[in-house]
Chain A
């Protein structure tokens, strides 16, 4: 349970961080809150030779309205969620325990892409735009669907950093719902659902059910998989009820 040795850098600017990512390529890894990467390293499931700690990169630390820098912590957004879609505030307390939220970041969660995580589901639900930067190529902005390739697999290249996540402005009169089932508060969800209803347009996402958060028009489309925490049939059944629940929260007829 001890990490393999690694070199450590704590760059002071985005340019310096991108240089280090370009220089070390597949050998290097960004370190954000460390709440997923450090456990992987102490279990030696990940053994990066070089860590690029983003803690002191000023360009990544701030939120400007609905544009959230990758290093903004869940705790900071929980303290001040003003101007963000209200479904975000409803989801945040479910992301681990408060001690985990003190360190965990929005960028780290999306780059890690656990199928049971809340941020990827929110990004898909709210049609977030993700900004990716590297030293040697031009900046690109991807939609959630383009960014999320599979469980723990994103469109990020080895030399690329996720720099910001931008949510559309939340319209007044927009309605929403969020619900998840976990064994204990702070545990990863066994199944979750969220919805928005904006201008009569309904959008429903389920998460923690399969490989990635999934947009569904109807609960019959839910593609659930089983693991040691819950069998597929359980996940599908619970997610189906959660879809009904979030639609009712949003004032819809499920």
Chain B
């Protein structure tokens, strides 16, 4: 059983979405020991002994995180299917403290597919959070 299926079907943490189930779309991205990884390409048993943070773990005390608020403000989601993967990917990039800008973000986000937004609002939302740190 993959980590994605374990999260969704056993733990009922359905924030993590499954699109392609073979590593291409990024919807299932979670943080494993802080690193963004595809939960569809890891068996649940491989995560034993490691820390897994899903999109459910971004909010604190029921309050959306700064990144989640920025997504809301910039309308960085429409149908929302890709959103958990973008949020976890972006959180990993922000946590790494790398300089993020309009030039490097499109490539860093290339592993996540969105069919609705055209990506621009997602880039704007992440840049807003990056600029406040």
| A interface, CB within 8 angstroms of B | 1-3, 8, 10, 31, 34-35, 38-39, 42-43, 51, 53, 55, 75, 96-100, 102-103, 184-186
Report yes or no: A102 in contact with B111, Cβ–Cβ below 8 A: no
Complex interface: chain B residues within 8 A of A31 (CB):
46
Contact residues on B (Cβ < 8 Å of other chain), bracket: 20 to 34
Report yes or no: B40 in contact with A42, Cβ–Cβ below 8 A: yes
Closest-CB distance, B72 to chain A (whole angstroms) = 24
With contacts A99-B89, A185-B107, A186-B110 taken as known, whether A42 is within 8 angstroms of B36 at the C-beta atoms is no
With contacts A8-B45, A42-B2, A102-B35 taken as known, whether A97 is within 8 angstroms of B26 at the C-beta atoms is yes
Majority SS at the chain B contact face: mixed
Closest-CB distance, A173 to chain B (whole angstroms) = 31
Report yes or no: B43 in contact with A100, Cβ–Cβ below 8 A: no
4 closest Cβ pairs, A-B complex: A97-B111, A39-B22, A185-B110, A38-B41
With contacts A35-B23, A42-B2, A53-B46 taken as known, whether A98 is within 8 angstroms of B108 at the C-beta atoms is yes
6 contacts between A and B (CB under 8 A): A31-B46, A38-B41, A42-B40, A98-B111, A102-B35, A186-B110
Q: Residue of B at shortest CB range from A38?
A: B41
Complex interface: chain A residues within 8 A of B21 (CB):
1, 42
Complex interface: chain A residues within 8 A of B46 (CB):
10, 31, 34, 53, 55
Q: Is B37 engaged at the interface, CB distance under 8 Å to the other chain?
A: yes
Report yes or no: A99 in contact with B38, Cβ–Cβ below 8 A: yes
Closest-CB distance, A99 to chain B (whole angstroms) = 5
Known: A3-B1, A10-B45. 10 other contacts (CB 8 A): A1-B21, A8-B45, A38-B23, A38-B41, A38-B42, A39-B22, A39-B23, A55-B46, A99-B89, A102-B35
Complex interface: chain B residues within 8 A of A34 (CB):
41-43, 46
Report yes or no: B42 in contact with A99, Cβ–Cβ below 8 A: no
Closest-CB distance, A44 to chain B (whole angstroms) = 12
Report yes or no: B29 in contact with A103, Cβ–Cβ below 8 A: no
Report yes or no: B2 in contact with A99, Cβ–Cβ below 8 A: no
Q: Residue of A at shortest CB range from B34?
A: A102
Q: Residue of A at shortest CB range from B42?
A: A34
Closest-CB distance, B102 to chain A (whole angstroms) = 15
Q: Is B5 engaged at the interface, CB distance under 8 Å to the other chain?
A: yes
Report yes or no: B22 in contact with A42, Cβ–Cβ below 8 A: yes
Q: Residue of A at shortest CB range from B108?
A: A98
Closest-CB distance, A109 to chain B (whole angstroms) = 14
Cα(A194)–Cα(B46), bound, Å = 35
Complex interface: chain B residues within 8 A of A98 (CB):
36, 108, 111
Report yes or no: A100 in contact with B23, Cβ–Cβ below 8 A: yes
